[in-house]
């Protein structure tokens, strides 16, 4: 029991959960239980209040609702790190910002190179730009205390800005027709959040009620509803009037739900790749190759190249007790797109099976390659370090 408790409390356990629920989804989708798995994800439910009606299948409640809470947690972490944490100066912030920028530009260019002739396929250009922070950090933690805290902080900071980039991409490129009325309602919610913050109101129920209305408004507006999560987080006060930490308390309370429930459920709902009738040649399609090479090669090359150039130009500096060889190992791990890539894939292709699930299989292959190669690379590097 002590060992089980230690495993659950370890930083690697969220990664273990993601692997378990991914494997479970693959098994269910490719077994005699495939209909039950699919039907479960398509169970419709919702509510109606007057003229307001929201009914969605379970899959979309997970991808539009639960994942908004994940982005809320990312927003809380970003606000704290920029205002009070390790990223509260331009110098400290510059390396992960440049790294995240490289980790988006290079993979997107690789994907575009393979798909520029097909306008529909090209909609997935942002799929290989994402990094799954829970999985990547979990792999890094498997290496134990040899890895300095500064390298973990670099990966976490990079992932925060990577997710922020994903949020901007979603807002700009994956937004449907806008509803003016819903957008006005969303702006009113933002004003209410601003006033709560301005008058230093720290009653959680007020923020929860406005956040729910804000999420519904964004859902109906045509802008992706997950944006409500990160925007709400930016209006959460850092402290109560008595000086007690307010933002960190919410982040601490939310962390287990994100790591042990939201992300595993998201993986379970989105990783069910149907391999039964898949033609092996699909994996060599332009979309699959763009995703695999974009994630596995594009991420590590882009993150390292932009980091190296920014350091050499004096715009940033290496993390403490870290050399370029060790930094490159973390760059490989950023190719673990997994849940975030699945999420963007669903937005880009509206969860269509037009590519016969080869796009999702490509995400799994690239993420697995990045995890395995990154782990063994760092193990060799730190194994040779005296």
133-150, pLDDT tens digit by residue? 777 877 887 777 778 878
Q: What are the φ and ψ backbone dihedral angles of 322, each rounded to 5 degrees?
A: -130, 135
Select the highest-mean-pLDDT range: 32-46, 68-82, 276-290, 292-306.
292-306
Give the residue among 373, 289, 363 at the shortest CA–CA distance from 331. 373
Residue 349 lies in a domain: yes
Are 289 and 337 members of one domain? Answer: yes
Handedness of CA 144, 148, 149, 154 (dihedral sign): negative
Are 124 and 194 members of one domain? Answer: no
CATH number for the domain including 331? 1.20.1530.10
Each residue of 64-75: b (16+ CB within 10 Å) or e? Answer: bbbbbbbbbbbb
pLDDT for residue 191: 96
Residue 4 lies in a domain: no
SS3 content of the chain, % helix, strand, coil (to 5): 70, 5, 25
Are 36 and 127 members of one domain? Answer: yes
d(CA 361, CA 277): 13
Domain count, the chain: 2
Are 338 and 197 members of one domain? Answer: no
Are 203 and 67 members of one domain? Answer: no
Residue 293 lies in a domain: yes
Which residue matches tokens 């697995």? 368
Are 22 and 136 members of one domain? Answer: yes
Which band of pLDDT confidence, cut at 50, 70 and 90, is reported for residue 330? very high
Beta strands in the chain (DSSP E): 44-49, 52-57
d(CA 3, CA 123): 46
Are 60 and 198 members of one domain? Answer: no
Residue 106: pLDDT over 60: yes
Residue 87 lies in a domain: yes
Are 372 and 255 members of one domain? Answer: yes
Query: In the chain, pLDDT over 90 holds for what percent of residues?
Result: 41
First to last CA, the chain: 35
Taking residues 318-339, what's their average pLDDT? 90
H helices, E strands: number in the chain: 19, 2
pLDDT for residue 10: 65
Residue 225: pLDDT over 80: no
Cβ neighbours around 351 below 10 Å, total: 16
Are 301 and 359 members of one domain? Answer: yes
218 Cβ partners below 8 Å, 6+ apart? 182, 186, 224, 225, 227, 228
pLDDT for residue 18: 80
d(CA 231, CA 227): 6
8 Å CB contact between 377 and 304 = no
pLDDT: which is higher, 124 or 3: 124
Which structural domain, as residue segments, surrounds residue 202?
176-223
Are 27 and 162 members of one domain? Answer: yes
d(CA 138, CA 303): 19
DSSP 199: T
Are 339 and 198 members of one domain? Answer: no
Distance of CA 228 to the CA centre of its chain: 15
d(CA 106, CA 380): 27
pLDDT for residue 1: 63
Residue 357 lies in a domain: yes
CA distances from 386 to 87, 380, 382 (A): 30, 12, 8
């Amino acid at each position: 029991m002590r060992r089980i408790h230690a495993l659950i409390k370890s930083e690697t356990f969220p990664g273990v959960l993601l692997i378990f629920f991914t494997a479970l989804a693959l098994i269910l989708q490719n077994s005699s239980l495939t209909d039950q798995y699919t039907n479960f994800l398509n169970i419709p439910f919702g509510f109606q209040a007057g003229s307001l009606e929201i009914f969605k299948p379970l899959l979309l409640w997970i991808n539009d609702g639960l994942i908004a809470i994940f982005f809320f947690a990312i927003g809380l972490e970003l606000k704290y790190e920029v205002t009070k944490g390790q990223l509260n100066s331009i110098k400290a912030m510059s390396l992960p910002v440049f790294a995240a920028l490289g980790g988006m530009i290079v993979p997107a260019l690789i994907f575009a190179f393979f798909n520029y002739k097909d306008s529909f396929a090209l909609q997935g250009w942002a799929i290989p730009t994402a990094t799954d922070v829970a999985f990547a950090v979990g792999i890094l933690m498997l290496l134990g205390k040899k890895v300095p805290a500064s390298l973990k902080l670099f990966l976490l900071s990079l992932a925060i800005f990577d997710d922020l980039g994903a949020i901007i991409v979603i807002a700009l490129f994956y937004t449907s027709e806008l509803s003016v009325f819903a957008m006005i309602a969303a702006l009113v919610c933002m004003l209410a959040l601003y006033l709560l913050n301005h008058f230093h109101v720290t009653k959680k129920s007020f923020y929860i009620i406005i956040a729910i209305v804000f999420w519904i408004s964004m859902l109906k507006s045509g802008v992706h509803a997950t944006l409500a999560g990160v925007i709400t987080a930016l209006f959460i006060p850092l402290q109560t009037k008595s000086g007690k930490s307010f933002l960190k308390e919410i982040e601490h309370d939310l962390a287990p739900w994100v790591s042990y429930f939201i992300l595993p459920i998201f993986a379970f709902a989105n990783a069910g790749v149907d391999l039964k009738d898949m033609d092996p040649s699909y994996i060599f399609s332009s979309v699959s190759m763009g995703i695999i090479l974009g994630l596995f090669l594009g991420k590590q090359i882009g993150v390292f190249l932009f980091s190296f150039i920014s350091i050499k130009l004096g715009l940033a500096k290496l993390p403490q007790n870290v050399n370029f060889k060790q930094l490159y190992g973390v760059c490989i791990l950023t190719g673990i797109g997994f849940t975030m890539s699945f999420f963007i894939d669903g937005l880009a292709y509206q969860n269509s099976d037009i590519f016969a699930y080869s796009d999702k299989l490509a995400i799994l292959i690239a993420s697995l390659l990045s995890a395995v190669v990154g782990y063994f690379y760092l193990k060799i590097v730190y194994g040779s370090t005296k």
